[in-house]
C-alpha cells in the first residue's frame, strides 16, 4: 500500500488513516492543500475492492478540490475523505459518529461534507463528534428560497451560466438557436435541462435510469438517445452530467459538438486529451471551474452571507471561464492546462 509513490500523490500536506475497531470504521482523509484556507471536501463511502483503490480515489479527489476552490476564489483548500464500505449494507450511526471523531482529530484542517454514498443526515451524525462539518443548516438557495441543503440547484445554475459563457465565446449564438446534448439527467442534469429549455434550447438526452429519461422527455420535449450515442449526436454543445471520463480515446473522435460544458467531475480520462480537443477546435469548459457552484453554495451557508451574494458569486463562473477561453486562444494552449496554471498560481 504505497502513498508517496502512488501516481495520484501530488504534494499532499497530510494523509490520515483511521480504523475504529468498535464501529468498524475504516477511513482515509487526504488534505491536499491549505494555503488558501482549511480544506473542504465531501466524504465518499464506497466498497473499494482494495486499499490502494481507496487511496488513489482520495488523493485524486482531494487534489481536484484544491483547484476547484482556488478557481472559485474561495478562502478554502482542498481535501476529501473516503470510508471503505458499502453505503447500502455497512452504514451505521456508530460509523458516522466515529468518522466525525476522526475529522475532529485533524483540528479543523479538513471540513467534511456529503458526497456519493453519504447523505446530509450522515453528516449530521458526524457533526455530533466534530465542529468541522460543512453544508449543514443551509439557509437559502441562490434564488432566495429556503434550502434543504442540496447543492445541486446551485451546481446546475453555475453550469448553465458557464455553458452560456462558452457558447458566447465559441459560437456567438443565442441559446434558443442551439441544440444541447445532456448526458445524465439526474440532480444536476435535470435542472440544467430546465434552464436550457426555458432559454429556448433544443435538448437531446440520455440516462441509464428510465424514470429520469421519461421526466425530461415529457417536461422539455427532449429527444432521447441511447447512452452509448449521446456523446456523438449532432448537437452544438455536449454537457456531460453523469460520470467521469466521458472524453476518452474511444469517444473523442466522434464528438460533433463544438462546445463541451457540463457538471461531471473528471470529464477527461487524461489531461492530454485537452490538447486533442483544442486541436479539433472544441471549446472545453474545465470541469472543476464550471461545476464549482456546489462548494460556493456550501461556503455562503457557513459565513455571514445572503442569497444575492451567493448568486453573484456563482455567476462569476461565467467570467472566469471567459478569461480561461481568452487566454487559451491567445496562447494557443488547451483550456484545461490554462486553468490548472491559473489555479496553481493562486495556491502554490
Ligand atoms: P446524480 O446521480 O443525481 O445524476 C447522475 C445521472 O446520470 C443519474 O440520473 C444516472 O442515472 C445517470 N447516469 C449514470 N450512468 C450514466 C451513463 N452511462 N450515461 C448516461 N447517464 C448515466 O448525480 P448529480 O448530483 O446530478 O451529479 C452529476 C455529476 O456532476 C457527477 O459527476 C457529480 O460528481 C458532478 N457534480 C455534482 C455536484 C452536485 O452538486 N450534485 C457538484 C459538482 C459536481
Q: Is the pLDDT confidence value at 1 over 90?
A: no
CB 48 within 8 A of CB 26: no
Annotated active-site residue 80? The verdict is yes
> In this predicted structure, what is the pLDDT of residue 135?
82
Q: How confident is the model at residue 304 (pLDDT cuts 50, 70, 90)?
A: confident
Quote the CA–CA distance of 64 and 32 in Å, as a whole number: 9
Task: Output the pTM of the full model.
Answer: 0.94
> In this predicted structure, what is the pLDDT of residue 337?
98
Residue nearest to atom 29 of ligand 1 (CA): 264
Give the mean pLDDT of 48-76.
96
Say yes or no: do domains 14-68+76-126 and 152-347 share a fold: yes
Q: Could you tell me the residue ranges of all domains in the chain?
A: 14-68+76-126, 152-347
Question: Residue 299 pairs with which residues in a beta bridge?
Answer: none
* CA proximity to 91, closest of 140, 30, 45, 40: 45
Which residues approach ligand 1 with their CB closer than 6 A? 151-152, 155, 183-189, 206-209, 212, 227, 241-243, 263-265, 291, 294
CB 215 within 8 A of CB 159: no
CB 15 within 8 A of CB 87: no
209 Cα nearest atom in ligand 1: 11
Q: What is the DSSP letter of 36?
A: S
* CA proximity to 81, closest of 111, 52, 47, 51: 111
Q: Is the pLDDT confidence value at 149 over 90?
A: no
262 Cα nearest atom in ligand 1: 30
pLDDT tens, position by position, 305-347 = 999 999 999 999 999 999 999 999 999 999 999 999 999 999 9
To test the pocket of ligand 1, the residue of 67, 263, 287 to mutate (highest count of ligand atoms within 8 Å of its CB) is 263
CA 22–ligand 1 middle distance (angstroms): 34
> In this predicted structure, what is the pLDDT of residue 43?
97
CA 238–ligand 1 middle distance (angstroms): 14
CA 204–ligand 1 middle distance (angstroms): 16
pLDDT tens, position by position, 177-235 = 999 999 999 999 999 999 999 999 999 999 999 999 999 999 999 999 999 999 999 99
> In this predicted structure, what is the pLDDT of residue 36?
97
CATH topology of domain 152-347: Rossmann fold (3.40.50)
Catalytic hit among 26, 63, 68, 80: 80
Q: What is the CATH number of domain 14-68+76-126?
A: 3.40.50.10860
Residue nearest to atom 32 of ligand 1 (CA): 264
Residue indicated by cell numbers 458526497: 115
- Whole-number percent of the chain with pLDDT over 70: 100
Q: Is the pLDDT confidence value at 131 over 80?
A: yes
Q: How confident is the model at residue 4 (pLDDT cuts 50, 70, 90)?
A: very high
Amino acid at each position: 500500500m504505497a502513498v508517496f509513490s502512488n501516481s495520484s500523490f501530488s504534494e499532499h500536506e497530510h494523509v490520515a488513516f483511521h480504523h475504529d475497531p468498535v464501529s468498524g470504521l475504516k477511513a482515509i482523509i487526504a488534505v491536499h492543500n491549505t494555503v488558501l484556507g482549511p480544506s473542504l471536501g465531501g466524504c465518499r463511502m464506497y466498497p473499494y475492492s482494495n486499499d490502494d483503490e481507496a487511496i488513489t480515489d482520495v488523493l485524486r479527489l482531494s487534489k481536484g478540490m484544491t483547484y476547484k476552490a482556488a478557481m472559485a476564489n474561495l478562502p478554502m483548500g482542498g481535501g476529501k475523505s473516503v470510508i471503505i464500505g458499502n453505503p447500502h449494507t455497512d452504514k451505521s450511526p456508530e460509523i458516522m459518529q466515529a468518522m466525525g471523531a476522526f475529522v475532529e482529530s485533524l483540528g479543523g484542517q479538513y471540513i467534511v461534507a456529503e458526497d456519493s454514498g453519504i447523505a446530509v443526515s450522515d453528516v449530521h451524525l458526524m457533526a455530533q463528534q466534530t465542529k468541522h462539518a460543512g453544508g449543514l443548516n443551509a439557509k437559502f438557495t441562490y434564488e432566495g428560497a429556503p434550502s434543504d441543503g442540496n447543492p445541486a440547484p446551485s451546481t446546475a445554475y453555475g453550469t448553465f451560466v458557464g455553458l452560456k459563457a462558452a457558447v458566447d465565446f465559441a459560437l456567438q449564438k443565442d441559446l434558443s438557436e442551439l441544440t444541447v446534448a445532456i448526458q445524465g439527467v439526474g440532480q444536476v442534469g435535470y435542472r440544467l435541462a430546465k434552464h436550457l429549455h426555458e432559454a429556448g434550447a433544443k435538448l437531446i438526452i440520455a440516462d441509464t435510469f428510465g424514470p429520469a429519461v421519461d421526466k425530461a422527455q415529457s417536461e422539455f420535449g427532449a429527444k432521447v438517445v441511447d447512452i452509448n450515442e449521446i456523446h456523438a449526436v449532432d448537437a452544438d454543445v455536449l454537457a456531460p452530467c453523469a460520470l467521469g471520463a466521458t472524453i476518452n480515446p474511444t469517444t473523442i473522435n466522434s464528438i460533433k459538438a463544438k462546445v463541451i460544458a457540463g457538471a461531471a467531475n473528471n470529464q477527461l480520462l487524461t489531461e492530454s486529451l485537452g490538447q486533442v480537443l483544442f486541436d479539433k477546435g472544441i471549446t472545453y469548459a474545465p470541469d472543476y471551474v464550471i461545476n464549482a457552484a456546489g462548494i460556493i453554495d456550501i461556503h455562503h451557508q457557513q459565513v455571514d452571507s445572503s442569497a444575492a451574494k451567493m448568486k453573484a458569486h456563482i455567476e462569476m463562473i461565467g467570467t472566469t471561464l471567459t478569461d480561461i477561453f481568452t487566454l487559451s486562444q491567445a496562447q494557443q494552449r488547451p483550456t484545461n492546462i490554462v486553468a490548472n496554471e491559473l489555479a496553481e498560481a493562486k495556491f502554490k
